[in-house]
Amino acid sequence: MSALSFYAKKAGRVLKNEGLFIVLYKVYKRLCGNTTYRDWIAGNELNLTSAERFDYEPLISVVIPVYNVDSQMLRDCINSVLAQTYRNFEIILVDDASTMDSVRTVLAEYDPELATANSIGQNSTIPLEDRQKVKVIYRTSNGHISRSTNDGIEAASGEFVALCDCDDLFSVNALYEMVKLLNQDRTLDYIYSDEDKVDETGKVRRDPFFKPDWSPETFMSLNYTCHLSMYRKSILDQVGGLRVGLEGSQDYDLVLRVMEVTNRIGHVPKILYHWRMRKESTASAMTAKPYVLEATEKAKRDALERRGLIADLSWIDEVTMLRVTYQPQNHPLVSIVIPSKDNVKVLFQCLDSIVEKTKYQNYELVIVDNGSNDENRSTIEGKVKELQGKNIATTYIYEKEEFNFSAMCNRGAKASRGELLLFLNDDIEISSKAEESPYVSAHCEDWLSILAGQAQVSYTGAVGCKLFYPNSIRFQHAGVLNLQIGPGHCLYGSNDNLNYYYGRNILVYNYTVITGACLMVEAEKFWKVGGFDETFPVAYNDVDLCFRLVKAGFYNVCRSDLALVHHESVSRGLDEKSIAKEERRKREMARLYEKNPEFKDGYDPCYNPNLTYDKGDFSFDLSHAYEPMRAIKCPKDLPAYVRDTEKEPKLRYAIESAKLEKDDLCMGGWAYRTYKKDNNHIHTTILLRNESGDTYRLKTRRKYRFDVSRPEDGSIRGLGLVGWETRTMTKKLPAGRYRIGVSIDKVYSYSDTYVDVVHS
């Protein structure tokens, strides 16, 4: 399929489901993608030159290997380091026997030993104070980047070593932000930052990479840490620096070895490094340097051998990366725990698909029933006997009680014999239809061995995979993000036919949360953290379990090469169908964060705070990319407005976030009308009412929200742009407690969400 026909087909789907307005909106956003990043820069990179003094200010050695680089690019690189707001650094330039005379000419301008030795040094425009921070090493023979970098590391005097390519650029606050993090935790041995790319002129920035915190399985997929990287020098000495012979993947190999001697790894979620895009650079394309692929494969194979792991490696052409698929070690028994009740047809579909389409045979089935009627119980017992007659170890646990997913899973786990526990919804189906996705490379028959091999890796916690809705390649699950609005499915409802944000749906990534619909974990790790918390009977029990695994030092994983079919909510029905269920969900979410305060307000080590806080599509957080809205005081009692009533509600909405950030009150959510079909053209107004009865209104910016639930009868369309966000300066509001409401077409309703405005 050509690119034109592909996008035409996609536009047709959007037109049918969401209307022409959203088609035009999406086309505009695609054409203006670079503008979006410029907006993000304008809103988030303010006052970069301001710097404070720290109690701990270690010397940092910035090592820059140099070889046959354009003179202006080299000057720009060196000057970007000299311009750092943090001043306790040295620069070590290592010329790898460049054949271009211009390289030595430029180096001479910065070499303090040549300040009076020749005309170039004498005429240098670089201040002597800056030149005194520079050491220049001239190699007599070309040894390539590993040898030249090692020479720089050996000559380094600093407690830490930061690496930089000779044509790239540091942000002015790069070292300051690194040292700021060190002052929060002086035990860190390796720190990396976010990065973007610049064109050859160094003026056009694009392709920002907002990275997760340290995620070892993500790193096994790709060298996501890359730039800026700063290492404790003693760690570099311990691992022996860069390995000669892995040029092109030398940095990746280095971190693979560093992670084997320390887990004290930190991340600064800010763009501190600008990677130059040149035609011959890996910043432009991995395939620009074919030897990089060979070096990457060797680095991974060597790492697996050092760790005693057996795995298959396979290239993914779409992203030019190498996937690691671990093989189960010592043929472990897998206990598949399936909670179910009065769901015979769906349960049997699940069981039959396991039996018929599972190559890995060392498993047992543990069915936990919390009260099926007598007829269904008898039918299930007959099925169990049938399976046992086929030499399939099957246990049926029946106990009539109120539904409690956590208790059912724990009961099944206690009755299990396996080293590995797989918690599986009864509405999961192992189906070859999932292989219709271009990004599902594993055969469905291999599903259990892939999960088992991953679960046995020492640092792995819970393991899951992609889940598709029936008869589609549309995501129900591809990992769960802990957003500010609460846990939300990554890429929910999107189709698995595009490369989303650095291969999120293609490569194996760590996620903080894996859905309990298909979750495997080693039994020892499961019981170490206490199993499922039975005070979460319905919602967030899987989230709570995953939070506790993360706090125990494990990393949860989504295997994106594998997909199963999820006939979601056949068992219980959708929570959105009743107000009571929604209220229960809110209570359980509040308790989730009371129990796990580390994750409150959207902290997710596998996500990045520069990405949007209210949906899982990895778009940029642009909440600071526009001017604050003016809070306008309204007349008493809003005489021109009509209050919405519970009897015949005209508005449906959610206040998903309301928080104070420095001097701003920031809010976000969604809202739409139930009395008109098209909501894409609406403008939501936010109301703030204080305890004195004064009301203020704020305008909002619209946001695309593919995740907002739609009425089942299809009576309301045009919900794509019902998302909103706004912020206002708190000094423009009287101090006090405010109740938040929404208004559309002067119909208004107040929520149960409050925010306290405090003046500093």
pLDDT (tens digit, 9 = 90+) per residue, 608-665?
999 988 788 898 888 777 788 899 998 877 878 888 877 778 888 888 888 887 788 9
Backbone angles phi, psi at 508, to 5 degrees: -80, 120
pLDDT (tens digit, 9 = 90+) per residue, 143-189?
999 999 999 999 999 999 999 999 999 999 999 999 999 999 999 99
Contact yes or no for 94/66 (Cβ under 8 A): yes
Q: Binning pLDDT at 50, 70 and 90, where does residue 126 land?
A: confident
- Which residues face 363 on adjacent strands? 334
> Is the predicted pLDDT of residue 577 greater than 70, yes or no?
no
pLDDT (tens digit, 9 = 90+) per residue, 42-85?
888 988 988 889 999 999 999 999 999 999 999 999 999 999 99
| Confidence (pLDDT) at 92 | 98
CB-CB neighbours of 456 under 10 Å: 20
pLDDT (tens digit, 9 = 90+) per residue, 265-323?
999 999 999 999 876 555 444 454 678 889 999 999 999 999 999 999 998 988 888 99
User: First vs last Cα of the chain: how many Å apart?
Assistant: 59
Q: Strand 642-643 relative to strand 747-757: parallel, antiparallel, unpaired?
A: parallel
Task: Give the whole-angstrom CA distance, residue 34 versus residue 684.
Answer: 27
| Confidence (pLDDT) at 568 | 75
Domains of the chain: 3-44 (no CATH), 60-308 (3.90.550.10), 334-602 (3.90.550.10), 632-757 (2.60.40)
Contact yes or no for 754/738 (Cβ under 8 A): yes
Contact yes or no for 241/233 (Cβ under 8 A): no
Give me the percent of the chain exceeding a pLDDT of 90.
67
> Is the predicted pLDDT of residue 20 greater than 90, yes or no?
no
| Confidence (pLDDT) at 120 | 56
Give me the percent of the chain exceeding a pLDDT of 70.
91
The residue assigned the tokens 């030019």 is 320
> Is the predicted pLDDT of residue 717 greater than 70, yes or no?
no
* Lowest pLDDT segment from 183-197, 420-434, 566-580: 566-580
Q: 290 or 734: which carries more pLDDT confidence? A: 734
Looking at residue 159, the DSSP 8-state letter turns out to be S
* Lowest pLDDT segment from 438-442, 618-622, 708-712: 708-712
DSSP string, 446-499: GHHHHHHHHHTSTTEEEEEEEEE-TTS-BEEES-EEEETTEEEETTTT-BTTS-
Residue 714: C-alpha distances to residues 18, 117, 309, 473, 682 (Å): 11, 81, 51, 22, 19
Task: Give the whole-angstrom CA distance, residue 666 versus residue 661.
Answer: 7
Which residues contact residue 710 at a Cβ distance below 8 angstroms, ignoring those fewer than 6 apart? 716, 717, 719
> Is the predicted pLDDT of residue 200 greater than 70, yes or no?
yes
pLDDT (tens digit, 9 = 90+) per residue, 525-552?
999 999 999 999 999 999 999 999 999 9
Inter-residue long-range contacts of 627-630, CB under 8 Å, 24+ positions, other chains counted: 628/664, 628/727, 628/728, 628/729, 629/698, 629/699, 629/700, 629/726, 629/727, 629/728, 630/698, 630/699, 630/728, 630/732
Contact yes or no for 377/463 (Cβ under 8 A): no
| Confidence (pLDDT) at 83 | 96
| Confidence (pLDDT) at 576 | 45
Contact yes or no for 500/507 (Cβ under 8 A): no
| Confidence (pLDDT) at 572 | 42
Looking at residue 576, the DSSP 8-state letter turns out to be G
| Confidence (pLDDT) at 115 | 61
pLDDT (tens digit, 9 = 90+) per residue, 364-398?
999 999 999 999 999 999 999 999 999 999 999 99
| Confidence (pLDDT) at 518 | 98
> Closest by alpha carbon to 511, among 489, 536, 541?
489
pLDDT (tens digit, 9 = 90+) per residue, 314-360?
989 888 889 999 999 999 999 999 999 999 999 999 999 999 999 99
**Cα dihedral angle (280, 283, 285, 289), rounded to 10 degrees?**
50
Contact yes or no for 455/419 (Cβ under 8 A): no
Contact yes or no for 341/400 (Cβ under 8 A): no
pLDDT (tens digit, 9 = 90+) per residue, 394-419?
999 999 999 999 999 999 999 999 99
Contact yes or no for 524/336 (Cβ under 8 A): no
Count Cβ atoms within 10 A of the Cβ of residue 503 and give its class: 0-12 exposed, 13-18 middle, 19 or more buried.
Answer: buried
Q: 468 or 317: which carries more pLDDT confidence? A: 468
| Confidence (pLDDT) at 573 | 40
Contact yes or no for 709/636 (Cβ under 8 A): no
Of the ranges 488-497, 645-654, 698-707, which is most confident? 488-497
Mean pLDDT of the chain: 90
> Closest by alpha carbon to 257, among 208, 213, 306?
306
Of the ranges 197-201, 251-255, 662-666, which is most confident? 251-255
Q: What share of the chain is helix, strand, coil (3-state, %, to 5)?
A: 30, 25, 40
What's the predicted TM-score (pTM) here?
0.86
